[in-house]
Amino acid sequence: MGIDKRVTLSNGVRMPYLGFGVFKLGDGEETTNAVKIALETGYRGIDTASYYGNEESVGRAIKESGVEREDLFITSKVWNDEQGYNATLRAFERSLERLQTDYLDLYLIHWPVPGLYTETWQALEKLYHEGKVCAVGVSNFEPHHLEAISKISSVKPVINQIEFHPELLQGEVRDYCRSKGIQVEAWSPLKRGQVLNEPVIQTIGKQHGKTPAQVVLRWCLQHDIVLNVKSSKEERIKENADLFDFELTGEEMVSIDSLHADNRIAHHPDSLDFYEKTVPGFKKSQYSS
């Protein structure tokens, strides 16, 4: 098995272990060309979001690639200022139009906006029951957010996409998700390149004849983490897919785990300041204890 390796989610849908992400790739040729190269390389999972502002470019690349829609696994996400039941349904339709598709394989709540994420989830549940999306999930959710969803819905998330890299192991979240049959997916597994100069990672790379990035991505896969990789450069796109001809030892896995420092590059999901900045009308005073 290689780049075509897939995991079976809790609802039976099969998702690529390795997907191609487009966060911070500009709308236009940069994204279109990168996605086309990724598809030519063999990637079949594409991860985007309304917030990224490049869904149209992704849709154009898919159309021009000639890859059959049923062979792809397309993920998008509803952003913070689009949340709420009716607003989410409208946001979903806009994403479909930009992506030039009539369904998504996976639709996620981007962040758990207090006061909105439960009704946003109910909108995702409606889309799932209507067959407009094959699977629904969340991103950046803590266990208490997932518990709140479980109390109001018969449909459980199949995915929790979280910040995960050698300096942030997210043990509590991963343990909770594992206990509930929720697949964990990593965003920014390389910590935007910040972990690649770690001596332990470089040493392991030399031992395997692999780059530091390939070592970290392989480490994610061996933790049973689905992941998305991103680059606009053809050489890097292909390099990031070359992960299936080597395996890290148990000792090497532990040595990379030891880099954990509870160090984030993004906001904690419970940061009310973040939601006040991203949701018009949100008042953190309403949710402060």
For 19, list phi and psi in degrees, rounded to 5.
Answer: -120, 170
Total Cβ atoms within 10 A of residue 17: 22
Q: Contact, 145 vs 112, CB < 8 A? A: yes
Residues 6+ apart with CB under 8 A from 84: 116, 119, 120, 123
Q: What is the CA angle 124-129-131, rounded to 5?
A: 95
- In eight-state DSSP terms, residue 134 is E
Token pair listed for 179: 């206990």
Which of 223, 164, 174, 170 has the alpha carbon at shortest distance from 195? 164
- Give buried/exposed letters for 246-268 (b at 16+ CB in 10 A, else e): eebeeebbebbeebeeeeeeebe
For residue 174, the one-letter residue type is R
Q: Which residues are catalytic?
A: 52
**E strands present in the chain:** 6-8, 14-16, 18-21, 45-47, 73-78, 104-109, 133-139, 159-163, 183-187, 226-229
Q: What is the CA angle 252-162-139, rounded to 5?
A: 160
